[in-house]
Chains A and B, each alone.
Chain A
């Protein structure tokens, strides 16, 4: 009976979900740190930083995620030993950095130039003004688009399946193989799990957005 099978395999599905969440957290963190660095370089940096950021963004936004995964796993592992999990973090994380850099670049640029001038005029250094004035305002502009990025990347973790990361989608495939069929129900349950995680994540991010909202930075309707 398929329900019994699903029940018996629930620990595997949960473990797969846990791996997917770890992959998501790692790739978003890499994307956040690198994306913010690239964005700051593109807005405030000298021309090599702008050019480098631009080239990086073009490459990683222009190549399909599955191709990146294959390149990092099969291509790079010829030179450096990488687990499939680490290869997935790098491939998807660098790709996310490219997307996040554009979210942050736009958010930073939407802070009016007068804010920086006012900060410099009271004697702040450039970096101090960026940290205390520009970034807190940019964060409020970025949180909405960043919520979209979270959703996209959660779903993109399922692609790590192709290089053998045993995440949620691959666990589902194992269950299907072991039980000869039941594709619709097994993947239906998996879809539901992705859906729930996505909703929960969005709910948390909307709360963050609401907390950051101040008059002048009203929350956009979710």
Chain B
């Protein structure tokens, strides 16, 4: 919530279609340094596709993505992705590597840090997400919540300029969701720039600077959580919020 005016990520008019289905139909947004934005909307409205298009895991058909003013292009892609961390719905920890090696790998191979420096940093980040005592476990030995926290540590160790979270709690049991949300809230409060696709109303209300509501491949409404939750302007937003806030209280 230590938001500044300095622009980190700019997304300009992204379009993406799969076959006949236009999943993104012109999405634009910006993230300033320290800002936490939460993208909401019913399933199939292109939220995950938006995140995947931002770091070009799925290359957009049209539109541009700029990181600190530099456009992502096929030539700059690998060099720029290290600055855009991605947290996956199903964690995608490297299954053959111990937790600590998951957190060290990118530092060693991409950032070319020394083993000692990478180890020290990995332990710091594991400490931060509360997993220092699991450093020498393999992913298969961890619960889903622990795996997701480890994957957040892996993201953080790369010193990203922005982290994209793709439904980070959707694959978790309700009792494991809390530990991941706590870590994410902490990051938001420490000023990490983050774009989060999530239906976690609690996180959105308390940690987000802005909520982006998507429907049918476009952004229909955005604004601070206080406004958007209290007075949604758009009919689709109202209907959606009614459903998910009802689920939350249930």
Contact = CB atoms under 8 A, between A and B. Distances in A.
- Say whether A and B bind each other: yes
A124 B92 contact: no
B78 A217 contact: no
Contact of A123 (B93, B94, B110): B110
Contacts, number: 70
B93 to A, nearest CB: 8
Given A120-B57, A123-B106, A115 B94 contact: yes
A84 to B, nearest CB: 42
B21 interface: no
B90 interface: yes
Contacts of B110: 122-124
Interface in B72-116: 78-82, 84-86, 88, 90, 92-96, 105-106, 109-110
A55 interface: no
B96 A132 contact: no
Interface string A123-149: 111001000110011001000000000
B192 interface: no
A118 B94 contact: yes
A46 interface: no
A137 B95 contact: yes
A131 to B, nearest CB: 10
B142 to A, nearest CB: 9
Nearest to A122: B106
Contacts of B88: 114, 117-118, 121
B55 interface: yes
A121 B95 contact: no
Given A114-B92, A122-B82, A124-B78, A215 B109 contact: no
Interface stretch (B133-141, B183-191, B237-245): B133-141
B122 interface: no
Contacts of B90: 114
Given A121-B81, A122-B81, A215-B140, A115 B92 contact: yes
A184 interface: no
A133 B109 contact: no
A126 to B, nearest CB: 9
Interface in B6-65: 55, 57
A207 to B, nearest CB: 18
Interface residues of B, number: 29
A63 interface: no
A119 B93 CA distance: 9
Interface in B121-150: 137-141
A214 interface: yes
Given A123-B81, A124-B110, A216-B139, A117 B96 contact: no
Nearest to B84: A121
B101 to A, nearest CB: 11
A123 B105 contact: no
A80 B104 CA distance: 52
Given A115-B94, A118-B94, A216-B139, A124 B86 contact: no
Contacts of B139: 215-216
Interface string A53-85: 000000000000000000000000000000000
B55 A121 contact: yes
Nearest to B56: A120
A125 B137 CA distance: 27
B162 interface: no
Contacts of A114: 88, 90, 92
Contacts of B92: 112, 114-115, 117-118
The 7 closest A-B pairs by CB, nearest first: A216-B140, A123-B82, A118-B92, A114-B92, A122-B106, A121-B86, A215-B138
Interface of B: 55, 57, 78-82, 84-86, 88, 90, 92-96, 105-106, 109-110, 137-141, 151, 154, 158
13 contacts: A118-B88, A118-B92, A118-B93, A120-B57, A121-B55, A122-B154, A123-B79, A124-B106, A124-B109, A137-B95, A214-B96, A216-B95, A216-B96
Given A215-B141, A216-B96, 13 more contacts: A114-B90, A114-B92, A118-B93, A118-B151, A119-B94, A120-B81, A121-B57, A121-B86, A122-B85, A123-B110, A124-B110, A214-B96, A216-B139
